[in-house]
Structure 1
Amino acid sequence: MLTALAISNIVLIDQLSLEFRPGLSVLTGETGAGKSILLDSLGLVTGERADSGLVRAGSTGGAVTAEFDIPESHPVHAVLADQGLADEGHGLRLRRQIGADGRSRAFVNDQPVGVGLLARIGGLLVEIHGQQGQLGLLNPANHRALLDSFGGLQPQAAEVRDAWQTWRDAQAAVAAAREQLSKARADEDYLRHAADELTSLDPRPGEEEELAESRTAMMHGEQIAGELTEALSALAGDGGAEAGLRVALRRLERVAEKAGGRLDPVIDALGRGFTEIEEAGRALEAVGRDLEFDPRVLERAEERLFALRAAARKHGCTVEELPAVRDALVGQIEALETGEQGLAAMEQALHLAETDYAARAEALGDARAAAAARLDAAVMVELPPLKLERATFRTAVARLPRERWASHGADEVQFEVATNPGSAAGPLSKIASGGELSRFALALKVVLAEADSPTTLIFDEIDQGVGGAVAAAVGERLARLSDGAQVLVVTHSPQVAARGGVHLRVGKTVEGGVTLTRVEALASDERREEIARMLSGASITDEARAAATRLLEGAEG
């Protein structure tokens, strides 16, 4: 509920601080005293459009601060959490500053916010019903939810929302599958060619590295083999070292005896050398056999390596990734071949989801029609005491065409009235006059008290044009409504004023040549005088005081 309101430099108010209590608070005062300034201030701090005309003349800017005490279950806490705003528990403070140029700034718990967010939060806290416009329950956008709340249909509506989401998910899945299948069909020839190509190539993990190492080894082997051949030729070929040693050894052995043993060391050395050369030759031959070079093997290795690298460039991947690319292509072809069956299954699921949603939405629509009949009957009971006995209220529940079905169901809900017998019913906000509109709002509020209970309800001159028993009926209903919500009412009716738990009087005063609006809370005796003034006018009579006393005693009783 609203606990405090501070206004600074707004129209005729220089500085004003008010405190509020639960229940029904009434604001009275002569016409033009400035009661509308309080409503304008509340509208400003709850997100209504700022106007430089609200700033008091001669001031650079004005400000309004409203403080609320809200229960833990109030939906505004979820909004604060969603927006990352500090939540001070039960306390909530809204502030709006406006400059003489019309520019404004908004704050929630002293944190700057956009005006749109301020209006969203303010709409959850305060609902204003005035002569110039109606908010909250008279907004057609809210009628469906209000009817569901009145009829206790929220669980059924939640099931419809879930069925809608399932249907939407199935639609998205079918659309994605169709797109994928269509793309696969368009690329089918390429997919099959590319898959066959890679399947024929049959790349293996690690194959590139193996081929590169083998190719390098074979290219080096060709060079080594040539040098080995030359070395063997130098050792054992014609004119080679082996032949020379053999000739030298043979000649020395012929003359060894004649040399008297002096050639024996030389012959031994040449023999050892001859043996070493033979062993070296055999070793070279063994190496040559191990490094035997076949140009055809090298050519095949190079062709394989170049083919793998070309395929990798074609598919924009590494050679190592080619097996995975091949598998993916084969998978797409298999998906293409089985896609029709998968799509058919998805389409069947889509059909079932749509059928389920349609059935649930139709059942909800039937339940809404039944709840609408109960709501209409309850509201019609409230109309005669409010001088609306000639009016007819109805809740129109219309089935929407398929293209307008949504998460809320397949119905459009709107409150309609006919103010005179035989006249056509139409939207509440367009058919009823200002005073009628406020009384319709009161009747609806009384009936929907449990279904729609914002923190603070404000009625501006709801009793305009009525008096006597009708005004008393208005007051009685406002008091009844205030049992479940804080209610503020601007009134010219003594019958309504007598119902207030808190009575605030708004008046003008001239201070230092400047006209200012002042608001004061009235004590018991002051209340009687103010209600007597409302009954008799400027000259208060004893009869008016006695009537005021009876009204106050009747309200207390």
Structure 2
Amino acid sequence: MAQQSLELPVLGRSTLAALTIRDVVLIERLALSFRAGLCVLTGETGAGKSILLDALGLALGARGDSSLVRHGAEQASVTAEFELSGDHPAFAILREQGLDADDRLVVRRTVSADGRSRAWVNDQAVGVGLLKRLGEELVEVHGQFETHGLLNPATHRSVLDAYAQLDGKAAHVAALHRAWRQVEDARANAAAEIARARSEEEYLRHAVAELDSLTPKPGEEEQLAETRAVLMHREKVVEAMNSAYAELSGDRGVERSLASALRILTRIAEKAGGKLDPAISALDRAAAEAAEAVAALQAASADVDMDPAALEKLEERLFALRAASRKHGVAVDALAALRDELSGRLSMIEDQGDLLARLARDAETAREAYRKAAEDLSRARQKAAGLLDKAVATELPPLKLDKAKFRTLVEPLDEADWGSAGMDRVAFQVATNPGSPPGALNKIASGGELARFMLALKVVLAQTSTVGTLVFDEVDTGIGGAVAAAVGQRLERLGHGLQVLVVTHSPQVAARGSTHLKVQKAVKGQSVTTGVAALDGDERREEIARMLSGATVTAEARAAADSLIAGRG
């Protein structure tokens, strides 16, 4: 089939804008554009309406295998394009993955004939799991396909909070829970540290006493090592200093010779006409330097202890420091800091009663603040649950679910299960027959009945979800007349705020659509392909009339179709 493009404007904060399908089962090549509101998909049984949903599911991370690849093709390919508002949750997922994002999100999936699958987001290769995460934020499918959202009990608490506008209270509870857990963690860490310190208390006392007696000081090792090196060669050093001193200050020393030369020249300086002044200045400086050298030698000589016991004492100190360093596995210069650390741990043991008591008081204060806020949130949830139950109850009878009863269960959790979302478990339950116990939503009847039940919930909760596109697959199964009309009315209401795609066999539902797409088969050579046509005006009336009368379209059927179309809200 030649590629088709249905140019329809896209509206809404989060909508499926376009769907391009190639070589999926009976679809050779198909390009569809969508807009917000209610879009109905009709066609005879077996025309391939379910293939469209399979294709959309493939783009959104559903399981794909080679059976989806059109016979004779190398691979199936589906591309879905969405328009999003700037605050849509999908952007957070994209940022988390380091992916580029703007107000257009394009997801693409291929499945080859040998079953291999690949995925892309905005032309960047990704894992199929990411498509599924994004899909759960963009589209909900209700009917004969796998569903998420409201059928997942884990979402019910947040859905109830959104319905009752309790997000502020819930955020406050979450913040108080974090504060409580932080104090409890500090308390647990302190208790563990104290227990660890207590188990090594004897070692700590011995180590601190040992280091106290040693009184190590930073930089001491280097100083001792330098002094030791001098003392180890003290005889040679002293001998050299004495010889140098004799050369400088003896009877024939430099110091005496310089002084004598300076006196001689000074006496004759006036008669030399200033020519001796530089020599006199140089000798004067040399004499001063020599005197300074003599003084330095005297000082150094005084610092060199000739007592052999001094070296022994110094080495004893140096070796003791190095032994402690090896024992504790730290550098000599770090022994002082180690002593302070061990002393602090020892002090913790001695002060443990006060510390743990204070942390226990802080934890109890934080727990009480959390408990009060969580109880307030629980009361608000209980009140909201009653309102939600009443709202859903009004939607059930027109949908031929008058015997069903919806209940929002809000029950307390054990303290061990309290968390950032509060101290409640919230679950949506339903009893489908009088006298039968209520059960989980995902345990009720499947097919059309389940889809209608989800429709009732969605009508009530229309403004609580960030998912902008809802898909209902044959929500009208097994119904007709007034019930089908009620389904159509509710789908149309949903379409006022969301994008709703409905696969339907009901003319009452089809007449409510703001967009009408017909899925049909066509023979091309020796093969059969599925295509989609956008209907309007007479074509739409003719399709609804066909749905009313069957193979032979009568004038009465056309008149009835006109009446249904005219009855749109």
CA contact 1:393–1:415 (8 Å) conserved in 2: yes
Instruction: Give the aligned partner of residue 44 of structure 1.
Output: 58
When residues 7 and 229 of structure 1 are mapped into structure 2, their CA distance, relative to the original with a 3 A threshold, is closer
How is 1:50-449 mapped onto 2 (pairs within 5 angstroms)?
50-87=64-101, 89-223=102-236, 293-449=306-462
In structure 1, what residue type is equivalent to 2:358? Answer: A
CA deviation map 1:346-375 (0-9, x unaligned) = 122122222222222222222111111000
2:391 counterpart SS class: helix
When residues 217 and 154 of structure 1 are mapped into structure 2, their CA distance, relative to the original with a 3 A threshold, is same
In structure 1, what residue type is equivalent to 2:457? Answer: L
Stretch moving more, 295-304 or 490-499 = 295-304
Instruction: Give the aligned partner of residue 8 of structure 2.
Output: none
2:567 counterpart SS class: helix
TM-score norm. by structure 2 comes to 0.84
Taking the aligned partners of 2:146 and 2:336, their CA distance within structure 1 comes to 71
Deviation at 1:227, TM superposition (A): 9.7
Deviation at 1:285, TM superposition (A): 12
1:499 counterpart SS class: coil
When residues 189 and 513 of structure 1 are mapped into structure 2, their CA distance, relative to the original with a 3 A threshold, is same
When residues 293 and 462 of structure 1 are mapped into structure 2, their CA distance, relative to the original with a 3 A threshold, is same
When residues 453 and 496 of structure 1 are mapped into structure 2, their CA distance, relative to the original with a 3 A threshold, is farther
When residues 83 and 286 of structure 1 are mapped into structure 2, their CA distance, relative to the original with a 3 A threshold, is closer
2:39 counterpart SS class: strand
Pick from 18, 26, 29: which aligns with 1:4? Answer: 18
* Correspondence 1:27 to 2:41: yes
CA contact 2:25–2:51 (8 Å) conserved in 1: yes
In structure 2, what residue type is equivalent to 1:172? Answer: D
Stretch moving more, 11-20 or 67-76 = 67-76
Taking the aligned partners of 2:217 and 2:514, their CA distance within structure 1 comes to 89
Deviation at 1:209, TM superposition (A): 3.1
When residues 393 and 202 of structure 1 are mapped into structure 2, their CA distance, relative to the original with a 3 A threshold, is same
When residues 509 and 210 of structure 1 are mapped into structure 2, their CA distance, relative to the original with a 3 A threshold, is closer
Taking the aligned partners of 1:501 and 1:161, their CA distance within structure 2 comes to 42
Instruction: Give the aligned partner of residue 475 of structure 1.
Output: 488
When residues 210 and 432 of structure 1 are mapped into structure 2, their CA distance, relative to the original with a 3 A threshold, is same
Taking the aligned partners of 2:218 and 2:139, their CA distance within structure 1 comes to 71
Deviation at 1:339, TM superposition (A): 2.6
Report the aligned-residue RMSD. 2.3
2:532 counterpart SS class: strand
Taking the aligned partners of 1:351 and 1:285, their CA distance within structure 2 comes to 73
CA deviation map 1:363-397 (0-9, x unaligned) = 22221111110000000011111111111111111
1:539 counterpart SS class: coil
Taking the aligned partners of 2:477 and 2:299, their CA distance within structure 1 comes to 122
When residues 61 and 86 of structure 1 are mapped into structure 2, their CA distance, relative to the original with a 3 A threshold, is same
Pick from 29, 38, 49: which aligns with 1:15? Answer: 29
Percent of pairs with identical residues: 56
Instruction: Give the aligned partner of residue 527 of structure 1.
Output: 540
CA deviation map 1:16-63 (0-9, x unaligned) = 111111111100011111000001111110111112211111211100
CA contact 1:136–1:142 (8 Å) conserved in 2: yes
Taking the aligned partners of 1:331 and 1:471, their CA distance within structure 2 comes to 78
Deviation at 1:212, TM superposition (A): 2.8
In structure 2, what residue type is equivalent to 1:440? Answer: F
Instruction: Give the aligned partner of residue 497 of structure 2.
Output: 484
Taking the aligned partners of 2:298 and 2:532, their CA distance within structure 1 comes to 121
In structure 2, what residue type is equivalent to 1:150? Answer: Y
Structure 1 runs (4+) deviating above 4 angstroms are: 223-230, 284-292
1:49 counterpart SS class: coil
Q: Which structure has the larger Rg?
A: 1
Taking the aligned partners of 2:300 and 2:384, their CA distance within structure 1 comes to 102
2:530 counterpart SS class: strand
CA contact 2:143–2:446 (8 Å) conserved in 1: no
Taking the aligned partners of 1:432 and 1:129, their CA distance within structure 2 comes to 13
Deviation at 1:404, TM superposition (A): 2.0
Taking the aligned partners of 1:55 and 1:165, their CA distance within structure 2 comes to 50
In structure 1, what residue type is equivalent to 2:66? Answer: S
Taking the aligned partners of 1:5 and 1:210, their CA distance within structure 2 comes to 80
Taking the aligned partners of 1:133 and 1:289, their CA distance within structure 2 comes to 96
TM-score norm. by structure 1 comes to 0.86
Deviation at 1:288, TM superposition (A): 8.6
Deviation at 1:83, TM superposition (A): 1.2
* Correspondence 1:553 to 2:566: yes
5+ long unaligned stretches in structure 1: 231-283
Stretch moving more, 346-355 or 460-469 = 346-355
Taking the aligned partners of 1:224 and 1:522, their CA distance within structure 2 comes to 112
Taking the aligned partners of 2:299 and 2:128, their CA distance within structure 1 comes to 93
How many pairs does the alignment contain?
Answer: 503
Taking the aligned partners of 1:468 and 1:290, their CA distance within structure 2 comes to 117
When residues 289 and 469 of structure 1 are mapped into structure 2, their CA distance, relative to the original with a 3 A threshold, is closer
Taking the aligned partners of 1:553 and 1:190, their CA distance within structure 2 comes to 92
